[in-house]
Amino acid sequence: MKVLAGDIGGTNARFAIIEGNTIIFEKHYPSRDFDKFEDVFAVFVEDVPEQVPLCACLAVAGVVEGNRVEATNIPWTIDGNDLKKRFGLETLRLINDFEAAARGITVLHRDHLIQIGGGKPISDGPKAMLGAGTGLGQAILAPCNKGYKVLPTEGGHVDFAPRNEEEIRLLRYLMKEFPHVSVERILSGPGLVNIYKFLLEERDSKESVFSKQSIKEKDKAAHITRHAVQGTDDLCQQTVSMFCSIYGAEAGNLALKCLATGGVYVAGGIAPKILPILSEGGFRQAFESKGRMEKVLKHIPTYIVISPQLGLLGAALMARQ
């Protein structure tokens, strides 16, 4: 059965025609090139080289209520029922993007997972997922009827909890700009830029990799990660190292909240790009450093997801249902 799947975020709108777990046709569009979601969806429908499947599921970064969602990081309101009527579909379901990503984990090939630390997962244990990209998504997979029930969350918007003096100064720095400093203000593409600017101010310097080149705001996070991984800028390396430590701490927080003995999965667009630094030890050290719970966390494995199709596969599962 062929279905139409979508993975809609603040940076890209990804669409695919999928049969089983095989992607037959896939196309991506920059989200900010379109004023309304209906416009980008119409372009994809025109681009499909065959008849569009009548069953669709779109995974969107935001809270879905009544098959309607206001996207979190782009000013789109998406109404699944209106889209279904306009494009002549039999079904069109909207789900949270990390609910889709979590469902994608259940069909993901092991080759798309890289384990960093921990032991073997408990086969029927709860699983947790988080991922930094344009924002920070989180979801929980709870064991249910020999499978898993996915619990979508908005955990990326919980309060940032600093663990040391430097992170306290980071919190104070961000409080000058944001009325609420969520962990997403740090663990995201814009968050990387926030950390970089904070460390630049700590140095009391105006010199930066951005002042040396003309870099668009939307490209700054990618610029930071590239210099960090290549080892060509000290401040970029410090930025990504701090990011990885806070990432590990938040992954450990999520693991404790659902006792994720089945493993913690790190998805999102940033992790694969900084894999060498994630693997150095700061991420895992922060993950385990939870006082009396350290012995528990030492056994829980953490995995980096390197498949860009995770959300599409999960949305396709929901479309077939």
What CATH number is given to the structural domain containing 95?
3.30.420.40
Do 127 and 14 lie in one domain? The reply is: no
Q: What angle do CA 278, 281, 283 make, to 5 degrees?
A: 55
Do 98 and 145 lie in one domain? The reply is: no
Do 91 and 122 lie in one domain? The reply is: no
pLDDT tens column, 209-226: 776 666 666 689 999 999
Do 43 and 87 lie in one domain? The reply is: yes
pLDDT of residue 206: 73
Do 77 and 174 lie in one domain? The reply is: no
Do 124 and 209 lie in one domain? The reply is: yes
d(CA 121, CA 262): 5
For 148, phi and psi rounded to 5 degrees?
-135, 140
Number of domains in the chain: 2
Q: Is residue 185 part of a domain?
A: yes
Is the separation of the CB atoms in 262 and 142 below 8 Å? Answer: no
Is the separation of the CB atoms in 75 and 289 below 8 Å? Answer: no
Do 70 and 125 lie in one domain? The reply is: no
Pinpoint the alpha helices (H) of the chain.
37-47, 80-86, 97-105, 165-175, 189-202, 209-212, 220-230, 234-258, 275-278, 282-288, 294-299, 310-320
Do 60 and 183 lie in one domain? The reply is: no
Do 140 and 225 lie in one domain? The reply is: yes
d(CA 230, CA 220): 15
Sign of CA dihedral 165, 241, 156, 177: positive
Do 129 and 85 lie in one domain? The reply is: no
Is the separation of the CB atoms in 18 and 2 below 8 Å? Answer: yes
Q: Is residue 64 part of a domain?
A: yes
Q: Is the pTM of this model over 0.75?
A: yes
pLDDT of residue 63: 86
Is the separation of the CB atoms in 293 and 65 below 8 Å? Answer: no
Do 192 and 294 lie in one domain? The reply is: yes
Is the separation of the CB atoms in 72 and 127 below 8 Å? Answer: no
pLDDT tens column, 269-312: 999 999 999 999 999 999 999 999 999 999 999 999 998 889 99
Side chain identity at residue 49, one-letter code: P
Walking along the chain (321 residues) 10 residues at a time, the average pLDDT comes out as 93 93 94 94 95 95 91 90 95 92 89 95 95 92 91 93 98 97 97 96 80 70 94 94 98 98 95 96 97 97 93 94 83
For 63, phi and psi rounded to 5 degrees?
-90, 120
pLDDT of residue 62: 85
pLDDT of residue 212: 66
Domain range spanning residue 293? 118-300
Do 316 and 230 lie in one domain? The reply is: no
DSSP 15-58: EEEEETTEEEEEEEEEGGG-SSHHHHHHHHHHH-SSPPPSEEEE
Instruction: Give the residues across from 13 on adjacent strands.
Output: 8, 29
